[in-house]
Amino acid sequence: MLTLVTGCRGRVGSTLVSLLHRDGHAVRAASRTPEDLAATATALPAGVSVAACDLGDPATFGAALDGVDSVFLYAEPSGIDAFLSAAGAAGVGHIVLLSSSSVLAPDAQDNPIAASHHAVEQALLASPLTTTLLRPGAFAANAYQWAQSVRAHGTVDLPYPNSHTSPIDATDIAEAALAVLTDPRLQGEAYHLTGPESLTAAEQVGLLAAASRRPIAINTVTGAAWKKSVAGFVPEAFADALLAYTAASDGIPDEVTGDVEKLTGHPARTFAAWAEENAAAFRP
């Protein structure tokens, strides 16, 4: 049984490849730029085969899918119909999609954050292939967005310091993917993956301060000021959607599920543990 893992420049995909290889499963690592995989922070294990697969370019699908039985797929809607056609022709029987819990929102089809995940989910569910949906919420690694400001100034700008998320460690997502790829009893379902607790943004900053052994001040800013500060790397529609989400979750605890433990057999890793492991990124 050969598994194709797409998006291997990302933390989830690269970790999943390592887990599959560790446990003796045949795995092929794929990326739009496979030549860059060796330079990633989580380099792939020696001996793992690598393929070019640009999920927006159907010309790359045939070779990547040759001989593949299952796929770990990132949510890129532009080429999904062609990908599913190629997967069916190659004999793929099972696809695990890295989706998002944002698809659970009533406006998922039109929400800039959720729309791509929603579109790919709908295409998969309409196909004859067995589909398993992994729907994580906020990643613990989203805290890296604060790292530069923390290193330079010891501060974080937040429009809604009391907005809640239940941040999940990428390793837990990869371990959940390993479980559903290798245990047929878990396949064909949708799983909402969260961390073990709901935390405000301010509480997450406090945990980063404790882990990095330095004070971090919070500046409460307006939504307009925050949008201006991220304009260089966050499209306006996404910034508006993020602001709306944080405003809606201001003071409201986020949902916490047990799906990570259900799939992996252990409780989800805490944000405090993630902060300790990544504290160096928040020190001068």
Closest CA to 98 of 113, 125, 127, 76: 76
**Which CATH code fits 2-136?**
3.40.50.720
Task: Determine what percent of the chain is predicted with pLDDT higher than 70.
Answer: 98
Please check whether residue 183 is in contact with residue 249, taking contact to mean a CB–CB distance below 8 angstroms: no
Q: Given this model, what pLDDT does residue 40 score?
A: 56
- Which helix (H) or strand (E) segment holds residue 205: the answer is helix 201-212
Angle (nearest 5°) at CA 44 between 43 and 48: 160
* Domain parsing of the chain, residue ranges: 2-136, 140-166+196-254+270-282
Q: Given this model, what pLDDT does residue 42 score?
A: 58
At the topology level, CATH places domain 140-166+196-254+270-282 in: UDP-galactose 4-epimerase; domain 1 (3.90.25)
CB-based contacts of 5: which residues, under 8 Å, 6+ apart? 13, 16, 17, 20, 27, 28, 29, 30, 71, 72
**Mean pLDDT (the chain, rounded):** 94
Task: Determine what percent of the chain is predicted with pLDDT higher than 90.
Answer: 85
**What's the rounded mean pLDDT across residues 172-177?**
98
pTM given for the model: 0.95
Please check whether residue 29 is in contact with residue 50, taking contact to mean a CB–CB distance below 8 angstroms: yes
Q: State whether residue 236 is helix, strand or coil.
A: helix
Distances (CA, A) of 133 to 73, 199, 269: 10, 25, 20
pLDDT tens profile 212-264: 999 999 999 999 999 898 888 888 988 999 999 999 999 999 999 999 999 99
pLDDT tens profile 103-117: 998 888 988 889 999
pLDDT tens profile 31-47: 998 887 766 555 788 88
2-136 and 140-166+196-254+270-282 share one fold:
no
Higher pLDDT, 45 or 64: 64
Higher pLDDT, 34 or 272: 272
User: Residue 192: which pLDDT band, with cuts at 50, 70 and 90?
Assistant: very high
* Tally of CB atoms within 10 A around 91: 11
Q: Given this model, what pLDDT does residue 229 score?
A: 87
